[in-house]
Chains A and B, each alone.
Chain A
């Protein structure tokens, strides 16, 4: 500060200046220092008593020829204010931090012209230490970079996986179709009656081939869903028509497992807008699961109702039920309960995952309730359509 005896205003001004976290100094029209606050003393290691009265460019010769010199001169000569950002000006003042063991500080500089009494021209320079902020921003950028790299890697991996599944599935399906065709003809007696043992072996091969084909088709469906390439053909239909058609088409599951499919509750005319083929795929999965996991001579109950303004189709079996800790994973891919009977009944482990994706594409939900020893109920909730709904869903 200057060596004048401070009055009250001077005392206040001095207190404000010296409590600033910024380095502040003032130059006169000859670029000589007239004010030099405590923060500048700390940053520069130059005391006010040494700085005041000295030309700034003698104190800091490295400033000459730099933008800071021009900006200061413009302030004095042309009344122009300037800002020197850290990003575009690499710390023109040789200043050190008192906190970080004397490392150079990163600087943002404000230069402001002051017109004092009698047209006296002054220039105030404020230097802000932005080192901590810059450090935080660098960390933020590094994290953002890493996240971007990780996202890119994950996307590439997903694409590789998707391409692999698609290619392999297609390459497997073609010869398998041919194999099944031939085995089917043999099983059907085209080549004449087979010896008992041969017939049994051919039948086993045919059944396993069909299971393999199911798996491949499921893999292809998963691939289509994940890549967004599964196409839907939405049309209006009555919900009971869907249920009747499903029971009619998949009655064979009931016969094969010695159970009965029974409709226990009818919903009056309720229109849903669905892709009939894909919905049959879901019904096939639910009915086949229910039949597989039901005790012999039991009944699989199918009902329709309203649930929160949606049409609900429920499929209930009286099997062993699903352990509670397994339910959250039920709709994940390649997941089957560890209970012993599942190894006998088979399945690809993809059916429920595919069903969930299909129902979600319809704007609906699929959920499950289960109690060990009592059985399991799957609920499919679908939005109700207006009588004259458009053919293109999506989700009405």
Chain B
């Protein structure tokens, strides 16, 4: 997380708490995706991108997070 200092921990927590999509990986880790308005405002180059957060199998401990170019909101929104 430190290496992606442009991402805020509070954004990751918000995505985990209210994801657009949640998926459990084969290794038990959990992937969450969510849109973070503040991320797009602070970093215009990331506009339209979902924030992907991967936790360990506990669903809470953040393993990694990054703006996901491959996540399509229209296909995954509830």
A and B associate in one complex: no
By a beta-carbon cutoff of 8 Å, the part of chain A in contact with chain B is none
By a beta-carbon cutoff of 8 Å, the part of chain B in contact with chain A is none
